């Protein structure tokens, strides 16, 4: 005849296992649901990032230099790219400098590797990568347009 303590221990172990299985089943179900939710959120985040990038590129054509600061860590500088970009737009160093917000001599120094632009200037250069010739000329004309003076001597 088995000892009552052994029987009691076996029954407690059996009930504990049964309870653990039931709790584990609930946790597994919740975990699977959370994994599905996380995967869905990742897909949504990926889609939203691509939308933001697309809108930023569209806005970058109309934005002032340096407006796309979010991607500034990924932008690299190359003297050859400045030269190629300027020639692609058909602009002199002085005119390109006006667009970027620096002097023509600074553009010349960048192109020849004598100096490097600051982070804000790199962002300005990056914002002109998608710019076309017509838009560049239009912006340059806006910059060069004489400002109207107010009456009253100010």
Identify the burial level of 96 via C-beta atoms within 10 angstroms of its C-beta, where 0-12 means exposed, 13-18 middle and 19 or more buried. Answer: buried
- Model confidence pTM above 0.75: no
Per-residue pLDDT at 72: 46
Output DSSP code: residue 114. Answer: S
Q: Which two tokens stand for residue 30?
A: 């919740």
Cβ count within 10 A of residue 38: 10
Residue 63, C-beta contacts closer than 8 angstroms, at least 6 positions apart: 127
Alpha-carbon distance of 68 to 62, in angstroms, equals 11
Q: How far is CA 139 from CA 16, 35, 58, in A?
A: 76, 49, 16
Cα(154)–Cα(5) distance, integer angstroms: 102
The answer to whether 95 touches 107, Cβ cutoff 8 Å, is no
Distance of CA 124 to the CA centre of its chain: 15
From first to last of its 154 residues, the chain has per-residue pLDDT tens of 578 989 999 999 999 999 999 999 999 999 999 999 999 999 999 999 999 888 877 776 655 555 544 444 577 888 898 999 999 999 999 999 988 889 999 999 999 989 999 888 888 888 888 888 898 888 888 888 776 656 655 5
Look at residue 68 in the predicted model and tell me its pLDDT: 47
Query: Domains in the chain, please, with CATH?
Result: 69-144 (1.10.260.40)
Contact 143, 95 (CB under 8 A): no
* CA gap 117, 66 in Å, rounded: 12
| Residue found by looking up tokens 């709790």 in the block | 23
């Amino acid at each position: 005849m088995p000892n009552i303590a052994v029987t009691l221990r076996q029954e407690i172990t059996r009930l504990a296992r049964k309870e653990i299985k039931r709790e584990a089943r609930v946790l597994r179900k919740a975990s699977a649901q959370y994994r599905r939710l996380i995967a869905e959120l990742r897909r949504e985040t990926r889609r939203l990032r691509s939308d933001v990038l697309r809108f930023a590129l569209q806005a970058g054509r109309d934005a002032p230099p340096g407006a796309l600061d979010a991607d500034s860590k990924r932008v690299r500088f190359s003297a050859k790219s400045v030269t190629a970009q300027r020639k692609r737009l058909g602009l002199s160093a002085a005119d390109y400098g006006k667009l970027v917000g620096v002097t023509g001599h600074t553009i010349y120094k960048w192109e020849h590797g004598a100096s490097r632009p600051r982070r804000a200037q790199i962002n300005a250069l990056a914002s002109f990568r998608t710019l076309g010739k017509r838009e560049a000329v239009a912006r340059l004309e806006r910059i060069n347009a004489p400002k109207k003076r107010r009456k009253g001597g100010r």
